[in-house]
C-alpha cells in the first residue's frame, strides 16, 4: 500500500496527544499507580538483594520471585504484584514472560499449595451496630463525626476511598431525603456521575441525614465533608481542622468501635448482607453499591454462619 505523504504530515501534529492518551490509558487511576509503584519497588529491592537484573524480567527471575512471595504473601498480593510488573512491561512495550511454561507452572503450584480463597471483611451484627450508633452523642463533635462515618459508610455502602473523597458540595437535600453525588470511584474511572440515595429514619438517633445536618452545623459551606480533629493546647481539648480524613483513619475508626476483626470494608459488606436478608433484589442493592453484576452482590453477601443462615431451619418439621 502506497503511503500518502500529505496525510502522514497532517497526522504528525497529533503525535504528542496520541502519546499522552496512550500513557494515561496504560497507567490507569492515580490510586492504582501508587499501588503499582509500591509493588515495583518491592520487586526491584528483592532483585537487588539477589544480585540479579529486575527489568525486563526474565522467566527464571520472575519464577524465583513468585516462589519467594508464596512463603510470605497471600494469593491476592501475589496477583497484584504480578499485575504491577506486567504493567511496567506494558508501559515500556517489553515482552512479559507470564506465559513462559516455568512461570505458569509456578503460579499453578502456588494456587494448589496455598489455595486462592481470600479472607473477606466480616459483616457485623445489625442489633449491635444499632446499639452502638444510638450511644454516640451528637453534642460531642468527635463522636458525631465518627457516628456519621459509620452511618454513611453503612447506609451508603461506600468504599473508604469514596467516603473520604466526599465534599460538602456533593450533598443535595430534599423533603424526600438526601442525594450524594460521586464524581469518581474504583469502578468509575471516567468521571461519570454516580449518585447514592439516603432516607430519613424514624429514630433520630439512627438517621444518617439528621446526623449529617448536625455535623454540617459545625462545618463551612464547602470543602471536604469528613475531616480530622487535632488536640488543642488545653488538656483533652480537640480542634476541628480542614484536613480530609484518610482511608487509614476510617479503617482505624471502624476497628475502634466494632472490633479489630472488622475493617472499613465491613460497612459495605454489611449493607449488602442486611439488604439481601431483608428481601432486596440485586438491582436494588446495585443502585447503592454501584456494582456492575449480580455475581459481585453474591460475593459480598456474608452468610458464612451455617447455624444462622441455613435452610435446615425452614424444613417445617
Catalytic residue numbers read 159, 186, 265, 268, 291, 300
CB distance 130 to 116 below 8 Å = no
167 forms bridges with which residues in the sheet?
224
Alpha carbons 120 and 105: distance in angstroms, whole number = 27
> What's the Cα-to-Cα distance from 173 to each of 129, 212, 223, rounded to whole Å?
25, 11, 17
Closest C-alpha to 103, from 70, 40, 60: 60
> Across the chain, which distance is largest between two alpha carbons, in Å?
84
Closest C-alpha to 301, from 267, 265, 277: 277
Alpha carbons 227 and 225: distance in angstroms, whole number = 6
Cβ contacts of 141 within 8 Å, gap of 6 or more:
218, 229, 238, 240
* Dihedral sign, Cα of residue 164, residue 242, residue 140, residue 202: negative
CB-CB neighbours of 76 under 10 Å? 12
Alpha carbons 165 and 226: distance in angstroms, whole number = 8
Alpha carbons 147 and 253: distance in angstroms, whole number = 10
Amino acid at each position: 500500500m502506497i503511503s500518502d505523504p500529505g496525510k502522514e504530515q497532517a497526522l504528525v501534529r497529533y503525535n504528542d496527544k496520541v502519546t499522552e492518551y496512550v500513557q494515561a490509558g496504560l497507567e490507569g487511576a492515580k490510586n492504582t499507580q501508587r499501588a503499582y509503584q509500591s509493588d515495583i519497588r518491592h520487586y526491584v529491592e528483592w532483585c537487588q538483594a539477589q544480585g540479579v537484573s529486575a527489568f525486563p524480567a526474565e522467566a527464571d527471575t520472575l519464577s524465583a520471585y513468585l516462589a519467594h512471595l508464596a512463603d510470605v504473601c497471600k494469593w491476592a498480593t501475589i496477583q497484584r504484584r504480578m499485575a504491577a510488573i506486567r504493567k511496567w512491561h506494558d508501559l515500556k512495550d517489553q515482552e512479559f514472560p507470564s506465559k513462559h511454561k516455568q512461570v505458569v507452572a509456578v503460579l499453578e503450584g502456588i494456587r494448589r499449595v496455598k489455595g486462592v480463597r481470600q479472607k473477606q471483611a466480616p459483616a457485623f451484627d445489625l442489633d449491635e451496630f444499632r446499639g452502638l450508633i444510638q450511644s454516640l452523642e451528637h453534642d460531642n463533635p468527635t463522636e458525631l463525626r465518627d457516628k456519621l462515618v459509620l452511618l454513611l459508610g453503612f447506609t451508603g455502602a461506600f468504599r473508604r476511598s469514596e467516603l473520604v473523597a466526599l465534599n460538602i458540595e456533593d450533598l443535595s437535600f430534599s423533603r424526600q431525603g438526601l442525594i450524594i453525588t460521586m464524581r469518581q470511584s474504583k469502578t468509575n474511572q471516567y468521571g461519570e456521575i454516580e449518585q447514592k440515595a439516603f432516607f430519613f429514619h424514624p429514630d433520630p438517633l439512627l438517621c444518617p441525614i439528621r446526623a449529617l445536618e448536625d455535623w454540617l452545623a459545625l462545618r463551612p459551606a464547602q470543602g471536604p465533608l469528613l475531616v480530622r480533629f487535632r488536640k488543642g493546647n488545653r488538656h483533652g481539648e480537640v480542634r476541628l481542622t480542614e484536613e480530609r480524613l484518610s482511608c487509614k483513619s476510617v479503617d482505624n475508626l471502624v476497628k475502634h468501635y466494632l472490633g479489630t476483626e472488622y475493617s472499613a470494608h465491613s460497612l459495605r459488606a454489611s449493607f449488602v448482607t442486611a439488604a439481601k436478608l431483608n428481601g432486596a433484589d440485586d438491582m436494588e442493592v446495585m443502585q447503592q453499591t454501584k456494582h456492575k453484576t449480580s455475581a459481585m452482590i453474591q460475593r459480598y453477601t456474608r452468610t458464612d454462619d451455617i447455624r444462622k443462615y441455613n435452610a435446615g431451619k425452614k424444613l417445617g418439621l
